[in-house]
Amino acid sequence: MMKKKTLTMMTLALLAVMSVTAACSSKSKAQPNVETATGAVDGKKDITIAYNSEPSSMDPHDTNDTVAYSLQKLMLEGLFSFDKDMNVVPVLAESYVANDTATEYTIKLKTGIKFHDGTEFNAEAVKVNLDRLADQTQKLKRNSLFNMVEKTEAVDASTVKITLKTPFGAFINTLAHPAGMIISPKALAEYGKEVSKHPVGTGAYVFKEWTPGTKFVSTKNPSYWGTPAQYDSISFKTVKEDGSRVAMLQTGEADFIYPVPSMQIENLKNDKNVKILENESIIVRYISMNVNKKPFDDVRVRQALNYAIDKNAFSQVVYSGHTSPLNSVIAPNTQFYVEQKSYDYNIEKAKQLLTEAGYANGFTTKIWSNNSSVSSKADEFIQQQLAKIGVTVEVVPMEAATLSEKLYNAPAGSGGEVELYYGGWSPSTGDADWGIRPLLATESAPPASYNTAYYSNPEVDQLIQDGIHTSDPAVRAEAYKKMQEILWNDAPWVFLSVDANMAAAGSNITGINLLPDGSLQVAPEK
């Protein structure tokens, strides 16, 4: 039986959020406080955005960094995307139909749209892109996100039918992920892998130039099919040093900077020529505990560490108060979030649990993290907090590449070398599935994915399958509700915080949204 989506996709997204909220929690879904704007003012037509890192690629199918996606979204569009509150909205799609078992999705496309190179956007263009994303032999960074796709068919010029290998209820959210943006088939054929340097899409801006390490420039698309772009050109500059980005904003060399260090927010708030953009992200911070290793194979130890760390103090010390406590395994602005009863700071409770587990005198362990200044501050805080319950923590900071190699390329079945790992995760599909499955499903232990706790629970695994084997939001909501309760009590992580995203702009700059996933949305909303 097919479920026909006869309402607009925006209406559907709002209905889905309403039903999920009713099913999951007595509290309303938290909405981010985002400054939104709609156009250039004071004659400002060319703007410069300073980012803290270099984009990796202009090929969305082979990208895994948010910076690159922020740039790509100027020029490329997908069938679906997210609005400023991470609700799914249609872009190149008109509507869709899904069957009850979430194995077939038929999508009606908008018509009369062309790529920047003049090529028609149609069902065949979608098929070319989805075939590329689903082909695991391509070895693109986002192939794994689409490995459930069995085949894509162009039913007619404005209709595609996508058949999945297995049921997957979060598939529309996956299509809304920026990895699903559509590239001109002509550009794919002409440039091959070099399309990473030659982005050709249907977006409001057109690629002009990219000098790696220096700047990236896009210009207004005069033939854009939707609402015209606000600016004649947008330039991105890579400025890694925090103070330099702030100085550029204050002198007018940059019009928008991201991110803004939490310790500099208060100073910028006193500058009348600057405005701050801040919202609650969907980025969670946690310490994973390898349940294969003693003493973390004992749930009482894992719960003890949760009680032993003061989450409010963590926020103040590490992020100058610009985070909120993590009260589930996913953040509030993630679809199907359900708030759990917090592990309040309680040293005596932590010591009691350790004693019950046979560790009255504590133990010694190691924590891995990257070697950024923020991670170093977090490690030091964690080390000091756990010392209060007799747990001695050796901090092992690493370069990002080294850390990734040691974490995610561990031999299959080895159980992993890691003991504690301080890190973060952003589910860029905005859905609970991508916030949980890669991190906590049995099958997701390295090297398959990112389960650095090596956590395995058959009941959770079954609920994960229940959550993706249907397109019914009420059924999915119930699965994720139960799942979050179990994970919270099993405590494979020390649940720390939800980041606040912080950017700053000149007071005369409008038209830029800061999304909860940490990306920027500059092209006008549809």
Mean pLDDT computed over 22-37:
32
pLDDT at 43: 54
Beta bridge partners of 99: 2
pLDDT tier, 438 (very low <50, low <70, confident <90, very high otherwise): very high
Tell me which residue has tokens 């990895």. 179
Amino acid residing at 335: Q
Q: What per-residue confidence (pLDDT) applies to 40?
A: 43
Is pLDDT at 13 greater than 90 in this prediction? Answer: no
Residue 361 has pLDDT above 50, yes or no: yes
Mean local confidence (pLDDT), 294-313 = 98
Distance of alpha carbon 48 from alpha carbon 57, whole angstroms = 19
Average pLDDT of the residues in 7-27: 32
* Rounded Cα distance, 503 and 511, in Å: 13
For the entire predicted model, the pTM comes to 0.80
Q: Is the pLDDT of residue 130 over 90?
A: yes
The per-residue pLDDT for 18 is 29
**What confidence score (pLDDT) does residue 370 get?**
92
Average pLDDT, the chain: 89
CA dist 30 → 27, 85, 169, 332, 515 (Å): 8, 10, 23, 6, 14
Q: What is the pLDDT of residue 493?
A: 98
Asked whether the beta carbons of 471 and 102 are under 8 A apart, the reply is yes
Given a cut of 70, whether residue 10 has pLDDT beyond it is no
| Measured CA angle at 193 (ends 192, 195), to 5 deg | 75
- Which amino acid, one-letter code, is at 167? P
Note the pLDDT of residue 266. Answer: 80
Burial of 248 (0-12, 13-18, 19+ CB in 10 A): middle
Cis peptide before 199 (omega within 30 of 0): no
The predicted pLDDT at position 401 comes to: 81
The domains of the chain are located at 2-203+507-521, 281-500
The three-state secondary structure class of 159 is: strand
pLDDT at 34: 34
333-359: average pLDDT: 97
Confidence of residue 523 (pLDDT cuts 50, 70, 90): low
Q: What CATH number has the domain spanning 2-203+507-521?
A: 3.90.76.10
- Output Rg (C-alpha) for the chain, integer angstroms: 23
- Distances, alpha carbon 456 to alpha carbons 107, 304, 305, 397, 410, in Å: 36, 20, 19, 27, 17
Burial of residue 444 (CB within 10 Å: 0-12, 13-18, 19+) is: buried
What's the confidence (pLDDT) of residue 64? 82
* DSSP letter assigned to residue 302: H
Taking CA atoms, 23 is separated from 9, 434, 460, in Å, by: 21, 20, 19
| pLDDT tens, position by position, 210-262 | 998 889 999 999 999 999 999 999 999 999 888 899 999 999 999 999 999 88
- Across the range 102-122, mean pLDDT stands at 97
pLDDT above 90 for 340: yes
Please report the sign of the dihedral spanned by the C-alpha atoms of residue 464, residue 470, residue 471, residue 474. negative
**Domain made up of 281-500: CATH architecture:** Roll (3.10)
pLDDT at 54: 87
Paired strand residues for 234: 47, 218
pLDDT beyond 80 at 44? no
- pLDDT at 16 exceeding the cut of 50: no
